[in-house]
Structure 1
Amino acid sequence: MKGVHFLISTLAILAFATFLASAYDPSPLQDFCVAINDTKSPVLEGTLYVGFVTSNGDGNRLFTKVLNKGDVFVFPIGLIHFQLNVGHVKAVALAALSSQNPGVITIANAVFGSKPPINPDVLAKAFQVDNKVVNYLQKQFWYNNS
């Protein structure tokens, strides 16, 4: 009988631990883009070309916008996104992350600069390029590629 109680207790603990391990910050965001053209905003300046790509299930659609002073753009959590200064002066922008544990992953650094490196055959097939291109990219110094 003690064995049955032990087994049930162990299963309950494992089920609870699995629940905790799969927890994440839920995102209430249901829409993609918000853009407000308010040229009277006193904080930001410059011109940025920004965008993101939706997930595979949504057809990998690209959403872009040129942001001017006072504009706002929302990047949905977990999607590939970018920002590029297309103006003639330095751009100042604000970023807010919704996670309790925010972080940044630079895709080029993660993919081509991983240690140990990702097998070049995998990357060649994923990016539909020759292995020579992958080898060249993996040999680059990826610390600061700006």
Structure 2
Amino acid sequence: MVRVDYAPWGINPPHTHPRGTEILTVIKGTLEVGFVTSNPDNRLISKILRKGDVFVFPIGLIHFQRNVGHGNAVAIAALSIFGSKPDISADILAKAFQLDESIVRKLQWTF
């Protein structure tokens, strides 16, 4: 788990985590986030996140974050919660990340 502080227009440049899924929660500010899907599509999936929003970067995919707000931004990131062996109970993860349990189960199945 890590706290990331972004200056105005600060960027966490494109990078990967070959052995872990990352989940990012915005604590303060506005971030543009995105990742590139695998071949053959190589499609950019991106979104603008605000305080309280959560985003998941799938294992091994190139991803980034950029502060697009007018002030500082802060986020908390954690790795590999959906790919644990054995799985963390879907209802626990659904509550923690305010997701539907079916989405949690899909993420767990994917990883």
TM-score in terms of structure 1 length: 0.38
Higher relative contact order (CA 8 A, sep 6+): 2
TM-score in terms of structure 2 length: 0.49
From the two aligned structures, give the one with the greater strand fraction. Answer: 2
Rg (Cα) greater in structure = 1
